[in-house]
Amino acid sequence: MAVYTNVSDEALAEFLTHYDLGKVVSFKGIAGGVENTNYLLQTEAGSYILTLYEKRVAEADLPFFIGLMDHLASRGFTCPLPIRNRAGEALGRLEGRPAAIISFLEGMEVSHPTADYCRLAGQTMARLHLTAQDFDIQRVNALAPAGWPPLVESAVGEADTVEAGMAELITSELAYAQQNWPTDIPSGVIHADMFKDNVFFLDGALSGVIDFYFACNDYLAYDLAVGINAWCFDDELQFDAERCAAMIAGYQEIRQLEPAEQDALPVLARGAALRFLLTRVNDWLNVPPGALVVPHDPKAFSARLRFFKSATPSTFGLSTSGTS
């Protein structure tokens, strides 16, 4: 939620000489994006988002992120389209940072999604999975279970200062996930961060998905597990079974979940809750001086995690398949 890198008018004008976007009409820093600096850029050609990639994003991952948006958008999936400069490049440098211009998506976040909105989000997630099937760059999910032990280690000493019992919770849940994580369900490119603020709606229709900077190769059903965490709890942190059923139904209208995926959903949802709990509790305990973002409350995810500990496929409106 910040502008980390200021862009001068001279540097912007020089950067834009490489593009066919005409002159600048307006340019404003956007208060969103924890990882990167984003500007709303209006030129004679239209509205765009200019992103400067900050230190938390590995430069080596940028061809994956930008290539994925390009792949999806050019196949009709509604996400930002990276704009290429006259040399055909979508990635440049500005104020010493890697930088890209992407198309502007209309729409806005829905604060309190109904089941209908969840169904649309589920459909769109499945479309993303299918459309990305032939995308040919790979990116390991750095926040899969293999990446969790260091996060548990760095937080466990102080976790109980955030919430009583949190140290025990993250330790035991890490062990549970390591022992129970599925091993042979369908994989592919997933968004991995399809929270409400990354999905825009316009007039009740889903207008687009943004922020692909956690996208990676992982289990497709894990994306749905993230989505259930993100969309299917109310403001009092109560699970909303109707929204969850709608999200899964929407997903399955586009891509049918295999029985093994349905069986894995409880452990995946539990693991997704742990993954967001771990990054949030680490961010909470390590707010750097001069941070420009308010850390998210980790307790929103310890509550989800405790809920999912007793979940079964029927929690998600699925019947146990008995095949795994």
The DSSP secondary-structure symbol of 110 reads -
User: What are the two backbone dihedrals, phi and then psi, of residue 200, each rounded to the nearest 5 degrees?
Assistant: -105, 145
Please identify, among the stretches 50-58, 103-111, 161-169, 253-261, the one whose residues bind its own copies according to the rule CB under 8 A. Answer: 103-111
Please identify, among the stretches 67-75, 105-113, 122-130, 254-262, the one whose residues bind its own copies according to the rule CB under 8 A. Answer: 105-113
**Contact pattern for its own copies over residues 41 through 80, marking x by CB under 8 A:** -x--------------------------------------
* CB 250, min distance to its own copies, A: 20
Task: Choose between 45 and 108: whose C-beta lies nearer to its own copies.
Answer: 108
Residue in 56, 292, 312, 314 binding its own copies, rule: CB under 8 A: 292
Q: Is 204 exposed, middle or buried (0-12, 13-18, 19+ CB in 10 A)?
A: exposed
Residue in 79, 90, 110, 245 binding its own copies, rule: CB under 8 A: 110
Footprint on residues 210-269 left by its own copies (CB under 8 A) = none
Distance of CA 299 to the CA centre of its chain: 19
* CB 115, min distance to its own copies, A: 16
The DSSP secondary-structure symbol of 32 reads -
DSSP string, 158-219: THHHHSTTHHHHHHHHHHHHHHH--SSS-EEEE-S---GGGEEEETTEEEEE---TT-EEEE
285 binds its own copies (CB under 8 A): no
86 binds its own copies (CB under 8 A): no
From the list 139, 218, 224, 155, the residue with the least C-alpha distance to 181 is 218
Distance of CA 168 to the CA centre of its chain: 27
Contact positions vs its own copies (CB under 8 A)? 1-3, 8-10, 12, 23-32, 40, 42, 104-112, 200-203, 290, 292-294
